[in-house]
Structure 1
Amino acid sequence: MNARLLPSPAVLGNNTSVIMEFLSECFHDDDEFKYRAYTFTYLLLFPVAFLCNIWALVVFSLQSSRRNSASCVVMINLALSDSSFSLTLPLRLAYYFKDGVWNFPDWLCRLCVYGFYVNLYTSILFLTLLSMLRWLAVAQPLRHSSMATPTRTLLICVGVWLFVGVSSAPFLSSGVKYRDGFPRCFEPSNPASWERILILNYIAMALGFILPFLTIIICYSRLIHHLMAHPGPQGSSQVSTNRRCTRRRSVHLVTMVTANFLLCFLPYHVIRSLHLHAVCGRWNCDIIMVLQRAVVVTLCLAASNSVLNPLLYYYSTRTFRKSMRDAHSSLLSNREGSFRSRLSLRMRTRRRSTT
């Protein structure tokens, strides 16, 4: 395979059209793989993410007692983030079904780009906050009950939304661009934008991934150390049962959040950084295309966090499972009651017609 090298800046000078020609050669020879991968992924993600997160919000709304807990406040915000992101997936699907032609307004293109990064980093920060609350509840329950009030937690969640929303605002500048005579979305427009994206990538890596990930590692290591060092009382069977339930929920939360970070967030950030360095450093074009495919795969994994979070609610929260069963039973009873009323109405109608 012949190696294709992008020219150095000294050779190209300020000739932006030549740079764009080489960038187009590296990136758009492989559009078919990208379109197919995104189409397949979003077709699977949209119904699952939308229905599961909307259902999670319904279940949380039924938990009158749990709505006053700090962890429930965080989970509601996490479900809101995921359900909002899922609403942008039909627009992405329409775009990739049409082989990369954007037939919607420019502001919708900007909103889709912006929405992905807002969902990505609000999810990371909400999961980090949830992990901190779990460690505080297990290791220092008295401090947790006094500090982690629902009002304070809600204010922190609002702060997360504002911080991520303002920090992601530069992505609102990535709107519709024309390539080969067609309107395109989700594509940087010129070489200068790649340099800016590389700078934003470092900021997002430090504040939106590395710092939260280190916080989660510290919280979970101290949580596991506390659980190992304090096996709990052996007297009351009820106390022992409650302690085992708390341990089980803590283990489930540790497992789900760690899996989410390692599967969805870590590969995307690592490959994205390598890819941006390859583009800005004008590496071998074949290497750039390999990294481009890897970015596509890891971005699909990053988007899948919106369907993994409902599993976290289910396996780490006992009251969530109970509310789901109650809601399901209530739905079935309502259907059964409606069926019986319709059947009774039909029977009365038939009796009247025969008399």
Structure 2
Amino acid sequence: MYLYLYFLSSASYVVMMNLALSDGSFSLTLPLRLAYYFRGGVWDFPDWLCRLCVYGFYLNLYTSILFLTLLSVLRWLAVNHPLRHRDLVTPPRTLLVCLGVWLFVGVSSVPFLFNNGVTDRAGSLRCFEPSSPSWGRLLILNYVALAFGFLLPFLTIIVCYSRIVCHLTSRFDVHGGARRCNRRRSVRLVAMVTATFLLCFLPYHVIRTLHLHAVCGGWDCEVTVALQRAVVVTLCLAASNSVVNPLLYYYATGTFRGHMRDAHLSLRRSKRPQVTLVSRKNTNA
């Protein structure tokens, strides 16, 4: 019954349900992180839980980015190419793409399950701190994730939303006041989504890259410690995306659902003259 209702929903809802699943699964690991930091950075749980928390963070981070990117592509098709969206985008196809995202990110993040989980630092058991031999491998994984998990999705989002904005703003003076207001709300929504993406994900990837270079390159100790603290702050910003997503896309569904109705009505109106013309020919015959 659940899968039946799942397939009946729109393609955007399929993506948002997967996004909600990603955010919900990550939130299950937050109590362990809170307990760790409230105890002054001492890990009192099993080693496998530490590895699972690290794996869950990266799984949520990059599935969220890719699902947000997929949503931007779907909305670009819905607003700019409604005919292609209607013929090409279906819930079953979208579900297959989402499963591909889960598989790609899940397999790519597997090294974090086999990395050292709990490490001994000055007699205290620490988590979320790789051992020394792992830093070089993490630097390589960082650049792979930076290219395919952030830069490419970011460019895709920018291109899709910029074309949506151009399409909507160019039609401000064509439609009436209600539609004009709806399109202005969409432009503001596009700005909100882009700003959220930049605020949550950009600082973390930049600071993380600098910190890894500082550790592997033997930078000054004070700089390395400052970057390490900055990584914790930007990591919180990245994790806060799971809180922002439900609010942002609850607002988004109504706006883009309105555009889908407008596109559907315009398609029906464009077909009416052809139908009436055929009927007149039949009556004349």
Query: Per the shorter chain, which TM-score range?
Result: 0.7 to 0.9
Q: Describe the superposition over 1:216-256 as per-residue Cα deviations: whole angstroms up to 9, x where unpaired.
A: 1111111112122333744xx6xx645643x2553244123
CA contact (8 A) 1:88 1:112 kept: yes
CA–CA distance in 1 between the matches of 2:181 and 2:80? 15
Alignment gaps of 5+ in structure 1? 1-60, 322-355
CA–CA distance in 1 between the matches of 2:159 and 2:255? 27
Q: CA RMSD in A?
A: 2.3
- The residue type paired with residue 156 of structure 1 is V
In the TM superposition, 1:92-107 aligns within 5 A as 92-107=33-48
Instruction: Report percent identity of matched pairs.
Output: 72
Say which of 163, 185, 203 aligns to 2:127.
185
- The residue type paired with residue 206 of structure 2 is V
Asked if 1:158 is matched to 2:114, the reply is no
CA contact (8 A) 2:203 2:234 kept: yes
CA contact (8 A) 1:113 1:174 kept: no
| Superposition misfits of 4+ residues, deviation over 4 angstroms | 64-67
CA–CA distance in 2 between the matches of 1:139 and 1:248? 16
Number of matched pairs: 253
Go from structure 1 to structure 2 and tell me whether the alpha carbon gap of 1:303 and 1:214 turns closer, same or farther (over 3 Å shift).
Answer: same
Aligned equivalent of 2:143 = 202
In the TM superposition, 1:108-187 aligns within 5 A as 108-172=49-113, 173-187=115-129
Go from structure 1 to structure 2 and tell me whether the alpha carbon gap of 1:256 and 1:320 turns closer, same or farther (over 3 Å shift).
Answer: same
- The residue type paired with residue 275 of structure 1 is H
Q: Describe the superposition over 1:169-199 as per-residue Cα deviations: whole angstroms up to 9, x where unpaired.
A: 1111231122223322111112x21111110
Say which of 51, 71, 77 aligns to 2:12.
71
Asked if 1:282 is matched to 2:257, the reply is no
CA–CA distance in 2 between the matches of 1:107 and 1:270? 29
Aligned equivalent of 1:80 = 21
CA–CA distance in 2 between the matches of 1:256 and 1:171? 32
Aligned equivalent of 2:240 = 304
CA radius of gyration, larger in: 1
CA contact (8 A) 2:15 2:95 kept: yes
SS at match of 2:120: strand
CA–CA distance in 1 between the matches of 2:38 and 2:117? 19
Q: CA deviation at 1:306?
A: 0.8
Asked if 1:260 is matched to 2:201, the reply is no
SS at match of 1:288: helix
Q: TM-score, length-normalised on structure 2?
A: 0.83
Q: CA deviation at 1:87?
A: 0.6
SS at match of 2:125: strand
Go from structure 1 to structure 2 and tell me whether the alpha carbon gap of 1:297 and 1:161 turns closer, same or farther (over 3 Å shift).
Answer: same
CA–CA distance in 1 between the matches of 2:201 and 2:238? 6
Go from structure 1 to structure 2 and tell me whether the alpha carbon gap of 1:248 and 1:153 turns closer, same or farther (over 3 Å shift).
Answer: farther
CA contact (8 A) 1:252 1:316 kept: no
In the TM superposition, 1:200-239 aligns within 5 A as 200-231=141-172, 233-234=174-175
CA–CA distance in 1 between the matches of 2:194 and 2:59? 20
Aligned equivalent of 2:282 = none
Go from structure 1 to structure 2 and tell me whether the alpha carbon gap of 1:285 and 1:117 turns closer, same or farther (over 3 Å shift).
Answer: same
- The residue type paired with residue 313 of structure 1 is Y
- The residue type paired with residue 164 of structure 1 is V
CA–CA distance in 1 between the matches of 2:188 and 2:8? 21
Higher relative contact order (CA 8 A, sep 6+): 1
SS at match of 1:187: coil
CA–CA distance in 1 between the matches of 2:193 and 2:76? 13
Alignment gaps of 5+ in structure 2? 258-285
